[in-house]
Structure 1
Amino acid sequence: MYDDEMGLADIADELAVTTTTQDERGVATVDDTDVNLDARLREYAAELPCTPEAAATVLERHSAGDSVGDAAEAAVVAPVTAAKVLHRAGVEGVTPLAPTARRVLRDWLDGRLSRADALELTGADDAEFALAAYVETHDPIPELADATRRDAARSLGGDALVQKREELADTMSASTDLF
Protein backbone atom coordinates (compact mmCIF):
# COMPACT_ATOMS: atom_id res chain seq x y z
CA MET A 1 0.00 0.00 0.00
CA TYR A 2 2.55 2.61 1.10
CA ASP A 3 6.19 2.20 0.25
CA ASP A 4 9.08 3.60 2.20
CA GLU A 5 9.60 6.38 -0.36
CA MET A 6 6.18 8.06 0.24
CA GLY A 7 6.23 11.37 2.00
CA LEU A 8 3.58 13.13 4.00
CA ALA A 9 2.37 15.04 0.96
CA ASP A 10 1.80 11.77 -0.91
CA ILE A 11 -0.15 10.34 2.02
CA ALA A 12 -2.20 13.53 2.34
CA ASP A 13 -3.12 13.36 -1.36
CA GLU A 14 -4.82 10.01 -0.75
CA LEU A 15 -6.91 11.29 2.17
CA ALA A 16 -10.46 12.34 1.53
CA VAL A 17 -12.44 14.70 3.73
CA THR A 18 -16.16 14.23 3.95
CA THR A 19 -18.61 16.38 5.82
CA THR A 20 -21.74 15.25 7.57
CA THR A 21 -24.14 17.09 9.76
CA GLN A 22 -24.45 16.49 13.46
CA ASP A 23 -27.44 17.00 15.66
CA GLU A 24 -26.94 19.83 18.13
CA ARG A 25 -27.00 18.32 21.59
CA GLY A 26 -26.97 20.57 24.62
CA VAL A 27 -25.98 19.66 28.14
CA ALA A 28 -28.86 18.24 30.14
CA THR A 29 -29.39 20.00 33.44
CA VAL A 30 -31.62 19.51 36.42
CA ASP A 31 -32.52 22.87 37.88
CA ASP A 32 -34.47 23.96 40.93
CA THR A 33 -33.26 27.55 41.17
CA ASP A 34 -36.69 29.09 41.68
CA VAL A 35 -36.90 27.51 45.15
CA ASN A 36 -36.76 29.91 48.10
CA LEU A 37 -34.19 28.30 50.40
CA ASP A 38 -35.27 30.39 53.41
CA ALA A 39 -38.86 29.17 53.06
CA ARG A 40 -37.81 25.56 52.75
CA LEU A 41 -35.51 25.80 55.78
CA ARG A 42 -38.27 27.30 57.93
CA GLU A 43 -39.98 23.90 57.82
CA TYR A 44 -36.98 22.50 59.74
CA ALA A 45 -36.40 25.43 62.12
CA ALA A 46 -36.80 23.26 65.23
CA GLU A 47 -34.05 20.92 64.04
CA LEU A 48 -31.56 23.64 63.11
CA PRO A 49 -28.92 24.97 65.53
CA CYS A 50 -29.69 28.56 64.41
CA THR A 51 -32.35 30.56 62.59
CA PRO A 52 -33.39 29.38 59.11
CA GLU A 53 -32.09 32.68 57.69
CA ALA A 54 -28.64 32.15 59.21
CA ALA A 55 -28.67 28.51 58.07
CA ALA A 56 -29.52 29.61 54.53
CA THR A 57 -26.59 32.02 54.53
CA VAL A 58 -24.22 29.31 55.78
CA LEU A 59 -25.40 26.82 53.17
CA GLU A 60 -25.32 29.30 50.29
CA ARG A 61 -21.90 30.68 51.17
CA HIS A 62 -20.40 27.23 51.79
CA SER A 63 -21.78 25.88 48.50
CA ALA A 64 -20.25 28.93 46.77
CA GLY A 65 -16.84 27.86 48.08
CA ASP A 66 -16.49 29.78 51.35
CA SER A 67 -14.84 28.05 54.28
CA VAL A 68 -16.95 27.11 57.29
CA GLY A 69 -15.48 30.07 59.18
CA ASP A 70 -16.23 32.55 56.38
CA ALA A 71 -19.76 31.17 55.96
CA ALA A 72 -20.28 31.47 59.72
CA GLU A 73 -19.03 35.05 59.73
CA ALA A 74 -21.40 35.97 56.89
CA ALA A 75 -24.30 34.41 58.80
CA VAL A 76 -23.22 36.01 62.10
CA VAL A 77 -23.01 32.66 63.90
CA ALA A 78 -20.17 30.79 65.56
CA PRO A 79 -18.12 28.51 63.28
CA VAL A 80 -19.22 25.48 65.30
CA THR A 81 -22.86 26.43 64.65
CA ALA A 82 -22.15 26.70 60.92
CA ALA A 83 -20.52 23.26 61.02
CA LYS A 84 -23.63 21.88 62.74
CA VAL A 85 -25.85 23.35 60.02
CA LEU A 86 -23.69 21.76 57.33
CA HIS A 87 -23.79 18.41 59.10
CA ARG A 88 -27.58 18.48 59.47
CA ALA A 89 -27.83 19.36 55.76
CA GLY A 90 -25.88 16.24 54.85
CA VAL A 91 -22.50 17.81 54.07
CA GLU A 92 -19.90 15.14 54.74
CA GLY A 93 -16.57 15.65 56.46
CA VAL A 94 -17.74 18.08 59.13
CA THR A 95 -16.54 16.05 62.10
CA PRO A 96 -13.11 17.13 63.34
CA LEU A 97 -12.17 13.67 64.62
CA ALA A 98 -10.52 10.76 62.84
CA PRO A 99 -12.27 7.35 62.90
CA THR A 100 -10.32 6.05 65.91
CA ALA A 101 -11.05 9.21 67.89
CA ARG A 102 -14.73 8.91 66.96
CA ARG A 103 -14.75 5.41 68.46
CA VAL A 104 -13.31 6.86 71.69
CA LEU A 105 -16.02 9.55 71.61
CA ARG A 106 -18.69 6.86 71.20
CA ASP A 107 -17.24 5.06 74.24
CA TRP A 108 -17.67 8.30 76.23
CA LEU A 109 -21.22 8.72 74.92
CA ASP A 110 -21.99 5.14 75.98
CA GLY A 111 -20.61 5.82 79.48
CA ARG A 112 -17.55 3.58 79.17
CA LEU A 113 -15.07 6.47 79.55
CA SER A 114 -14.94 9.67 81.50
CA ARG A 115 -15.01 12.92 79.55
CA ALA A 116 -11.48 13.75 80.72
CA ASP A 117 -10.17 10.40 79.48
CA ALA A 118 -12.02 10.74 76.19
CA LEU A 119 -10.66 14.25 75.66
CA GLU A 120 -7.13 13.06 76.35
CA LEU A 121 -7.41 9.99 74.11
CA THR A 122 -8.92 11.90 71.20
CA GLY A 123 -6.45 14.78 71.44
CA ALA A 124 -9.32 17.16 70.68
CA ASP A 125 -9.85 20.54 72.30
CA ASP A 126 -13.18 21.36 73.95
CA ALA A 127 -14.72 22.90 70.81
CA GLU A 128 -13.68 20.00 68.56
CA PHE A 129 -14.94 17.50 71.11
CA ALA A 130 -18.30 19.29 71.42
CA LEU A 131 -18.74 19.43 67.63
CA ALA A 132 -17.81 15.76 67.27
CA ALA A 133 -20.31 14.85 70.02
CA TYR A 134 -23.02 16.81 68.17
CA VAL A 135 -22.20 15.02 64.90
CA GLU A 136 -22.35 11.63 66.65
CA THR A 137 -25.67 12.36 68.35
CA HIS A 138 -27.50 14.20 65.54
CA ASP A 139 -27.99 12.46 62.22
CA PRO A 140 -28.16 14.41 58.99
CA ILE A 141 -31.76 15.11 58.01
CA PRO A 142 -32.37 13.66 54.54
CA GLU A 143 -35.32 15.98 53.96
CA LEU A 144 -33.15 18.95 54.92
CA ALA A 145 -30.44 17.84 52.52
CA ASP A 146 -33.07 17.61 49.78
CA ALA A 147 -34.54 20.99 50.74
CA THR A 148 -31.17 22.68 50.48
CA ARG A 149 -30.24 21.14 47.15
CA ARG A 150 -30.58 24.08 44.72
CA ASP A 151 -29.63 22.17 41.59
CA ALA A 152 -27.87 18.99 40.62
CA ALA A 153 -24.79 20.82 39.40
CA ARG A 154 -24.08 22.39 42.82
CA SER A 155 -24.98 19.80 45.39
CA LEU A 156 -24.83 20.85 49.03
CA GLY A 157 -24.75 17.25 50.12
CA GLY A 158 -24.63 14.00 48.24
CA ASP A 159 -23.40 13.34 44.75
CA ALA A 160 -24.82 15.54 41.98
CA LEU A 161 -23.49 13.20 39.30
CA VAL A 162 -25.39 10.24 40.77
CA GLN A 163 -28.58 12.31 41.13
CA LYS A 164 -28.33 13.57 37.54
CA ARG A 165 -27.68 10.04 36.26
CA GLU A 166 -30.73 8.73 38.10
CA GLU A 167 -32.96 11.53 36.81
CA LEU A 168 -31.77 11.01 33.24
CA ALA A 169 -31.65 7.20 33.39
CA ASP A 170 -34.32 6.73 30.72
CA THR A 171 -32.36 8.78 28.21
CA MET A 172 -29.04 6.98 28.66
CA SER A 173 -27.89 3.71 27.13
CA ALA A 174 -26.02 1.08 29.10
CA SER A 175 -22.36 0.35 28.40
CA THR A 176 -23.37 -3.14 27.25
CA ASP A 177 -25.37 -1.54 24.41
CA LEU A 178 -22.08 -0.51 22.81
CA PHE A 179 -20.99 -4.06 21.99
Structure 2
Amino acid sequence: MLLPLGAVLARPAAAHGPSRLKVTQKIGIEAPADKVWALIRRYDALKDWHPAVASSPADKGEAEGSVRIVTLKGGGTITEVLERHDDAKRLYAYRVRDGGDALPVTNYASTLLVTPDGDARCTVEWRGAFYRGYPNNDPPPEKNDDAAEKAVNAVYASGLANLKKLAEAR
Protein backbone atom coordinates (compact mmCIF):
# COMPACT_ATOMS: atom_id res chain seq x y z
CA MET A 1 0.00 0.00 0.00
CA LEU A 2 2.91 2.39 0.60
CA LEU A 3 4.13 2.21 -2.98
CA PRO A 4 0.87 3.44 -4.56
CA LEU A 5 0.58 6.16 -1.90
CA GLY A 6 4.15 7.28 -2.65
CA ALA A 7 3.38 7.40 -6.35
CA VAL A 8 0.30 9.54 -5.70
CA LEU A 9 2.23 11.93 -3.46
CA ALA A 10 4.98 12.34 -6.06
CA ARG A 11 2.58 13.57 -8.73
CA PRO A 12 2.08 17.12 -7.41
CA ALA A 13 5.84 17.71 -7.53
CA ALA A 14 5.97 16.58 -11.15
CA ALA A 15 3.10 18.91 -11.99
CA HIS A 16 4.93 21.93 -10.62
CA GLY A 17 5.81 24.48 -13.29
CA PRO A 18 9.24 25.83 -14.15
CA SER A 19 11.45 27.60 -11.63
CA ARG A 20 12.63 31.18 -12.08
CA LEU A 21 16.18 31.13 -13.43
CA LYS A 22 18.85 33.74 -12.73
CA VAL A 23 22.03 34.66 -14.56
CA THR A 24 24.63 37.17 -13.39
CA GLN A 25 27.85 38.07 -15.16
CA LYS A 26 30.45 40.61 -14.13
CA ILE A 27 33.48 41.96 -15.94
CA GLY A 28 36.30 44.17 -14.73
CA ILE A 29 37.16 47.03 -17.06
CA GLU A 30 40.32 49.12 -16.95
CA ALA A 31 38.47 52.41 -17.38
CA PRO A 32 36.70 54.83 -15.03
CA ALA A 33 33.09 54.02 -14.17
CA ASP A 34 31.83 57.32 -15.59
CA LYS A 35 33.49 56.59 -18.93
CA VAL A 36 31.95 53.12 -19.15
CA TRP A 37 28.57 54.41 -18.00
CA ALA A 38 28.71 57.02 -20.77
CA LEU A 39 28.98 54.19 -23.30
CA ILE A 40 25.90 52.31 -22.07
CA ARG A 41 23.72 54.83 -20.21
CA ARG A 42 21.51 55.76 -23.16
CA TYR A 43 18.73 53.20 -23.46
CA ASP A 44 19.06 53.28 -27.26
CA ALA A 45 22.86 52.70 -27.17
CA LEU A 46 22.77 48.89 -27.07
CA LYS A 47 23.56 48.86 -30.80
CA ASP A 48 26.74 50.84 -30.10
CA TRP A 49 28.33 48.28 -27.80
CA HIS A 50 26.64 44.88 -28.20
CA PRO A 51 28.00 43.03 -31.25
CA ALA A 52 24.76 41.12 -31.96
CA VAL A 53 22.56 44.23 -32.15
CA ALA A 54 21.88 46.02 -35.45
CA SER A 55 19.58 48.72 -34.04
CA SER A 56 18.00 49.63 -30.71
CA PRO A 57 15.83 52.76 -30.93
CA ALA A 58 14.00 53.79 -27.76
CA ASP A 59 10.83 55.85 -28.08
CA LYS A 60 11.22 57.92 -24.88
CA GLY A 61 14.97 57.88 -24.29
CA GLU A 62 15.77 57.17 -20.65
CA ALA A 63 12.26 57.89 -19.34
CA GLU A 64 10.57 55.11 -17.42
CA GLY A 65 8.31 53.20 -19.79
CA SER A 66 10.51 53.87 -22.82
CA VAL A 67 10.11 51.05 -25.36
CA ARG A 68 13.25 49.78 -27.08
CA ILE A 69 13.02 47.66 -30.21
CA VAL A 70 16.19 45.57 -30.45
CA THR A 71 16.84 44.27 -33.95
CA LEU A 72 19.43 41.51 -34.04
CA LYS A 73 22.04 41.21 -36.79
CA GLY A 74 21.22 37.52 -37.18
CA GLY A 75 17.51 38.25 -37.50
CA GLY A 76 14.74 38.67 -34.98
CA THR A 77 13.55 41.48 -32.76
CA ILE A 78 13.02 41.91 -29.05
CA THR A 79 10.75 44.55 -27.52
CA GLU A 80 11.94 45.82 -24.14
CA VAL A 81 10.53 48.34 -21.67
CA LEU A 82 12.70 50.50 -19.41
CA GLU A 83 11.62 50.15 -15.80
CA ARG A 84 14.31 52.18 -14.06
CA HIS A 85 17.17 54.47 -15.07
CA ASP A 86 19.45 55.97 -12.43
CA ASP A 87 22.47 58.03 -13.53
CA ALA A 88 23.66 58.53 -9.94
CA LYS A 89 23.82 54.75 -9.37
CA ARG A 90 24.91 54.07 -12.97
CA LEU A 91 22.20 51.49 -13.59
CA TYR A 92 19.19 50.75 -15.65
CA ALA A 93 16.64 47.96 -15.47
CA TYR A 94 14.36 46.72 -18.21
CA ARG A 95 11.85 43.98 -18.95
CA VAL A 96 11.26 42.10 -22.19
CA ARG A 97 7.72 42.65 -23.40
CA ASP A 98 8.07 40.44 -26.49
CA GLY A 99 11.11 38.31 -27.23
CA GLY A 100 9.68 36.57 -30.26
CA ASP A 101 11.88 33.61 -31.08
CA ALA A 102 15.10 35.54 -30.43
CA LEU A 103 15.55 34.18 -26.88
CA PRO A 104 14.14 30.94 -25.44
CA VAL A 105 12.88 32.71 -22.31
CA THR A 106 9.70 34.24 -20.90
CA ASN A 107 9.07 36.85 -18.22
CA TYR A 108 12.61 38.21 -18.54
CA ALA A 109 13.81 41.18 -16.47
CA SER A 110 17.36 42.50 -16.43
CA THR A 111 19.63 45.11 -14.84
CA LEU A 112 22.90 46.65 -16.00
CA LEU A 113 25.08 48.24 -13.31
CA VAL A 114 28.48 49.98 -13.42
CA THR A 115 30.39 50.11 -10.11
CA PRO A 116 33.68 51.99 -9.64
CA ASP A 117 36.77 50.11 -8.41
CA GLY A 118 38.93 53.13 -7.66
CA ASP A 119 39.46 55.98 -10.10
CA ALA A 120 40.60 54.08 -13.20
CA ARG A 121 38.75 50.76 -13.03
CA CYS A 122 35.17 49.56 -12.74
CA THR A 123 33.01 46.45 -12.75
CA VAL A 124 30.01 46.04 -15.00
CA GLU A 125 27.35 43.62 -13.81
CA TRP A 126 24.57 42.34 -16.04
CA ARG A 127 21.98 40.23 -14.29
CA GLY A 128 18.68 38.80 -15.31
CA ALA A 129 15.83 36.65 -14.05
CA PHE A 130 13.50 34.72 -16.32
CA TYR A 131 11.63 31.51 -17.00
CA ARG A 132 12.44 29.05 -19.74
CA GLY A 133 10.73 29.50 -23.07
CA TYR A 134 8.36 26.56 -22.62
CA PRO A 135 6.23 27.05 -19.49
CA ASN A 136 4.79 23.54 -19.26
CA ASN A 137 6.35 20.26 -18.16
CA ASP A 138 8.62 18.34 -20.55
CA PRO A 139 9.89 21.29 -22.60
CA PRO A 140 11.57 20.66 -25.94
CA PRO A 141 15.39 20.90 -25.75
CA GLU A 142 15.50 24.30 -27.45
CA LYS A 143 13.17 25.83 -24.82
CA ASN A 144 14.25 24.10 -21.60
CA ASP A 145 16.11 25.54 -18.59
CA ASP A 146 19.55 24.75 -20.02
CA ALA A 147 18.76 26.41 -23.35
CA ALA A 148 17.42 29.51 -21.59
CA GLU A 149 20.46 29.87 -19.33
CA LYS A 150 22.87 29.18 -22.18
CA ALA A 151 21.24 31.83 -24.41
CA VAL A 152 21.21 34.54 -21.73
CA ASN A 153 24.80 33.74 -20.71
CA ALA A 154 25.87 34.04 -24.36
CA VAL A 155 24.15 37.43 -24.73
CA TYR A 156 25.79 38.75 -21.56
CA ALA A 157 29.25 37.34 -22.31
CA SER A 158 29.46 38.73 -25.85
CA GLY A 159 28.08 42.12 -24.81
CA LEU A 160 30.34 42.53 -21.79
CA ALA A 161 33.45 41.37 -23.68
CA ASN A 162 32.80 43.89 -26.44
CA LEU A 163 32.05 46.66 -23.94
CA LYS A 164 35.38 45.97 -22.24
CA LYS A 165 37.18 46.10 -25.59
CA LEU A 166 35.53 49.41 -26.53
CA ALA A 167 36.05 51.05 -23.14
CA GLU A 168 39.69 50.02 -22.80
CA ALA A 169 40.54 51.11 -26.37
CA ARG A 170 39.50 54.71 -25.83
TM-score scaled by length of structure 2: 0.28
Relative to its length, the structure with more helix (as a share) is 1
Relative to its length, the structure with more strand (as a share) is 2
TM-score scaled by length of structure 1: 0.27
- Greater RCO, CA 8 A, separation 6+: 2
Return the index of the structure with the highest Cα Rg: 1
